[in-house]
Chains A and B, each alone.
Chain A
Amino acid sequence: MNPVAESLDRFRKRVRWLNAWRGLAIGVCVGAALASGWACLDWARIWYTNWRGLGLLACLGGIAGLVAGLLRRVPDEALARSIDVRARLKDRVKTAVEVRPSTTVFDRPQSEDARRALESVVPESIYPVRLSRWHIAALALMVLAASIFLLGNSPVVHGPKTPSERAELKVAGQKVERVAAPVAEAAQKAQAPTGTKLASDLTRFAQELENGRLNREEALRKANDLAKQAEQEAKDRADTAQQRAQQAETALSKYQAKLAEDSGLKPEDLEKTNLTPDQEAALDQAMRDSGISAPAPQLSSEQLKNMGLTRTAERLSQMTPNEREKLRQAAAVRQAAIQKEIDRIDKLPPAERKAAEQERARLQQQLRDAQKLGEALKLTDEQMKALRELMQMPEMKQLQELLAKMRQKSQQMAQEGKAPTKEDLEELKKQIEELTQAMKDPKAREEIRKALEDALKQMQSGKMSLDAMQAMMTSLGMIPSSQQGQSGSSDDEGAYGKTDDDSFANTGRVNKSQHEMETKGQTSPVGVRGQWRNDKGEEWSVSVKAPTQVGNRSSVPYQKVLPTYRKAAEKAMSGGKIPKDQEKRVKEYFESLSGGK
Chain B
Amino acid sequence: MSAFDAQDTARWFRECFEAVRTQVAQVIVGQNDVVEGVLVCLAANGHVLLEGMPGLGKTLLVRTLAESVGLGFSRIQFTPDMMPADVTGTNVLASSPTGDRVFEFRRGPVFANMILADEINRATPKTQSALLEAMQERSVTVGGTKHTLAEPFLVMATQNPIEQEGTYPLPEAQLDRFFFKLLVPYPSKADLFEVVERTTGSASAEPQVVASSDDVLRMRQTVRDVPISRDVLDFALSIVVATHPEGEGSSAFAKRYARYGSSPRGAQAIVTAGKVYALLDGRFNVAREDVKKAAVAALRHRVILNFEAEADGVTADQLVHESVKAAEIGKADPIGV
Question: Interface of A with B (CB < 8 Å)?
Answer: 15, 18-19, 21-22, 74, 77-79, 81-82, 85-86, 90-92, 94-99, 103-110, 112-114, 127
A-B Cβ contacts below 8 A, count: 88
Of B194-202, B286-294, B303-311, the one touching chain A: B286-294
Between A and B, 21 residue pairs with Cβ closer than 8 Å are A15-B335, A18-B337, A77-B231, A81-B334, A90-B281, A91-B285, A95-B229, A97-B229, A99-B229, A99-B285, A104-B225, A104-B227, A105-B6, A106-B10, A106-B226, A109-B7, A110-B227, A110-B283, A112-B3, A113-B284, A113-B285
Complex-state Cα separation, A19 to B337, whole angstroms: 6
B332 lies within 8 A of A85 (CB): yes
Residues of A within 8 A of B288 (CB): 90-91
Mark B213-245 against chain A: 1 for CB-CB distance below 8 A, else 0: 000000000000111111110000000000000
Q: B5 interface residue, CB < 8 Å from A?
A: yes
Which of B225, B231, B337 is A106 in contact with, Cβ under 8 Å?
A: B225
B285 lies within 8 A of A92 (CB): yes
B1 lies within 8 A of A86 (CB): no
Complex-state Cα separation, A79 to B6, whole angstroms: 27
Residue of B nearest to A82 (CB): B335
Residue of A nearest to B5 (CB): A105
- Count chain A CB atoms within 10 A of each CB in B1, B9, B284 and give the residue with the most: B284
Residues of A within 8 A of B5 (CB): 105
Q: B100 interface residue, CB < 8 Å from A?
A: no
Complex-state Cα separation, A107 to B287, whole angstroms: 15
Residues of B within 8 A of A110 (CB): 227, 283-285
A305 to chain B, nearest CB (A): 82
Within 8 A of A (CB), among B72-87: none
Complex-state Cα separation, A101 to B10, whole angstroms: 18
B337 lies within 8 A of A85 (CB): no
Within 8 A of A (CB), among B286-329: 286-289
Residue of B nearest to A100 (CB): B227
Complex-state Cα separation, A127 to B335, whole angstroms: 10
B324 to chain A, nearest CB (A): 16
The A interface, classified by DSSP as helix, strand, loop or mixed, is helix
Complex-state Cα separation, A21 to B254, whole angstroms: 42
Taking A91-B285, A91-B286, A91-B287 as contacts, is the C-beta distance between A109 and B337 under 8 angstroms?
no
Residues of A within 8 A of B333 (CB): 81-82, 85-86
Complex-state Cα separation, A77 to B229, whole angstroms: 10
A129 to chain B, nearest CB (A): 9
A556 to chain B, nearest CB (A): 85
- Count chain B CB atoms within 10 A of each CB in A21, A22, A98, A114 and give the residue with the most: A98
A10 to chain B, nearest CB (A): 14
A132 to chain B, nearest CB (A): 8
Complex-state Cα separation, A113 to B281, whole angstroms: 13
Complex-state Cα separation, A393 to B225, whole angstroms: 106
Which of A82, A98, A108 is B229 in contact with, Cβ under 8 Å?
A: A98
- Count chain B CB atoms within 10 A of each CB in A21, A79, A99 and give the residue with the most: A99
A12 to chain B, nearest CB (A): 10
B6 lies within 8 A of A90 (CB): no
Residues of B within 8 A of A127 (CB): 337
Residues of B within 8 A of A94 (CB): 229, 231-232
A105 lies within 8 A of B9 (CB): yes
Complex-state Cα separation, A422 to B66, whole angstroms: 113
B337 lies within 8 A of A103 (CB): no
Residues of B within 8 A of A92 (CB): 283, 285, 287
Complex-state Cα separation, A105 to B334, whole angstroms: 30
Complex-state Cα separation, A110 to B226, whole angstroms: 9
B3 lies within 8 A of A109 (CB): yes
Which of A82, A90, A99 is B334 in contact with, Cβ under 8 Å?
A: A82
Residue of B nearest to A81 (CB): B334
Known contacts A15-B335, A99-B229; 19 further A-B pairs (Cβ under 8 A): A15-B337, A74-B335, A78-B334, A79-B335, A82-B333, A86-B333, A90-B285, A90-B289, A91-B288, A95-B227, A95-B285, A99-B227, A99-B285, A103-B227, A104-B227, A105-B1, A105-B5, A109-B284, A110-B284
* Nearest 8 CB-CB pairings of A with B: A110-B284, A90-B287, A95-B285, A18-B337, A82-B335, A95-B229, A78-B334, A108-B3
Complex-state Cα separation, A584 to B135, whole angstroms: 125
Residue of A nearest to B7 (CB): A109
Residues of B within 8 A of A96 (CB): 285
Mark B262-299 against chain A: 1 for CB-CB distance below 8 A, else 0: 00000000000000000001011111110000000000
A98 to chain B, nearest CB (A): 5
Residues of A within 8 A of B1 (CB): 105
